[in-house]
Amino acid sequence: LPDFVGEARGHLEDAEAALLEVEQSPDDLELINRIFRTFHTIKGVAGFMNMEAMVELAHSPEYLLDEFRKDNLVCTEQHTTLIFACCDTMGQMLEYLLGGEAPLQAEVQHLVDQTTLAAKNEPFQPGALGTGGPQQAPNVPQRDDSGAAAGEAAPPGEATAEQQPTSSPERGQ
């Protein structure tokens, strides 16, 4: 497990460095391939280790990057912002494997949903949950200070989905 975390961290650092370069050269296929390989590699090893949430999160930007590779989409600043958010959340998942705090299930699902929309060339929120600004997808409910959707109350004593840590990856696997 520590070997996987160390290797995955290195892959994410490489992907982030390549993403910075892609912002200047969005049509550089070698950079896109380099980032794609990061997510593909992490997804494969996480799948072998039965870490379904990490597999799902890695698959989403991989799918988006494949659309760039096929020349079906052009990578924009909003796309790179979204992929950076995936890298950050994946990094948090890796920290969780070593005893850190797990990312929230809602954050992981939000990133999966938004990268899927982006890959389909549909409106998407470019950043992490709650940071989308004017391009926020219309189907994302606004949250009040308690974390409940507007007009919806969380049952007493129960955490909302945003307050639930992701159940996978699980430590010790």
Cα angle value 21/23/29 (rounded, 5°): 65
Ramachandran angles phi, psi of 143, nearest 5°: -110, 145
- Mean of the per-residue pLDDT values of the chain: 81
Give the model's pLDDT for residue 131.
54
Cα angle value 32/137/70 (rounded, 5°): 25
Residue 20 has pLDDT above 60, yes or no: yes
Ramachandran angles phi, psi of 139, nearest 5°: -90, 5
Give the model's pLDDT for residue 50.
95
Residue 145 has pLDDT above 50, yes or no: no
pLDDT in tens, 85-94: 999 999 999 9
Better-scored residue on pLDDT, 40 or 126: 40
| Cα atoms in the 13 Å half-sphere on the side-chain side of 115 | 28
Token couple for 112 = 């999966």
The packing angle between helices 29-48 and 2-24, to 10°, is 160
The continuous run of DSSP H or E covering 120 comes out as: none
Contact 61, 16 (CB under 8 A): no
Region 46-74: mean pLDDT is 96
Residue 172 has pLDDT above 90, yes or no: no
pLDDT in tens, 104-129: 999 999 999 999 999 999 999 987 77
